[in-house]
């Protein structure tokens, strides 16, 4: 029986790297438990799609950051129910549009973003950037 030393030499550093990464993640989760839990906390399920606490928090931050609303913990708490309902309605609308094979052309989307940004006095491009950011 022969032993391939090059494979063993390569695997040991990889195992150490994986172990160190897992340890760092566990330490971060223990250091910031509420942030880690909020990111994975499911606040709603719309058919088969989840809305996470992170998604909700990001939407609230977008609303409070783009308007004349104070960005305080109290204000975010008051907005949470209304914003969540809006997000659920959006998911239902998107699911129905997908079911009906309704598509939106990029030009129409850009025009809608520009119109909303102008109405809400939001800097140009901010809505499109927020919409394209990854979701949890």
* Domain spans of the chain, in order of start: 5-31, 35-132
DSSP state of 2: -
Please give the Cα distance from 35 to 54 (Å, whole number).
Answer: 9
Sign of CA dihedral 135, 109, 48, 85: positive
What string of pLDDT tens digits covers the 136 residues of the chain? 544 444 444 456 666 666 666 666 665 555 555 655 556 789 999 999 999 999 998 898 888 876 677 777 888 888 999 999 999 999 999 999 999 999 888 888 889 888 988 888 888 887 777 666 555 4
Instruction: Give CB contacts under 8 A, 24+ apart, made by 25-34.
Output: none
DSSP state of 20: H
CATH number of the domain at 35-132, please?
1.10.4030.10
pTM check: above 0.75: no
Category of 49 on φ-ψ map: left (φ > 0), alpha (ψ -120 to 50) or beta: beta
The length of the chain, given as a count of residues? 136
């Amino acid at each position: 029986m022969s032993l391939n030393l090059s494979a063993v030499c390569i695997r040991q550093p990889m195992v150490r790297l994986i172990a160190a990464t897992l340890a760092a993640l566990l330490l971060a989760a223990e250091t910031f438990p509420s942030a880690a839990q909020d990111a994975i906390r499911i606040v709603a399920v719309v058919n088969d799609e989840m809305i996470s606490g992170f998604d909700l928090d990001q939407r609230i931050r977008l609303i409070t950051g783009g308007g004349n609303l104070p960005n305080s913990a109290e204000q975010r708490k008051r907005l949470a129910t209304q914003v969540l309902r809006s997000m659920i309605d959006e998911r239902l609308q998107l699911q129905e549009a997908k079911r009906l094979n309704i598509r939106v052309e990029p030009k129409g989307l850009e025009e809608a973003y520009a119109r909303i940004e102008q109405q809400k006095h939001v800097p140009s491009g901010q809505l499109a950037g927020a919409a394209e950011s990854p979701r949890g």
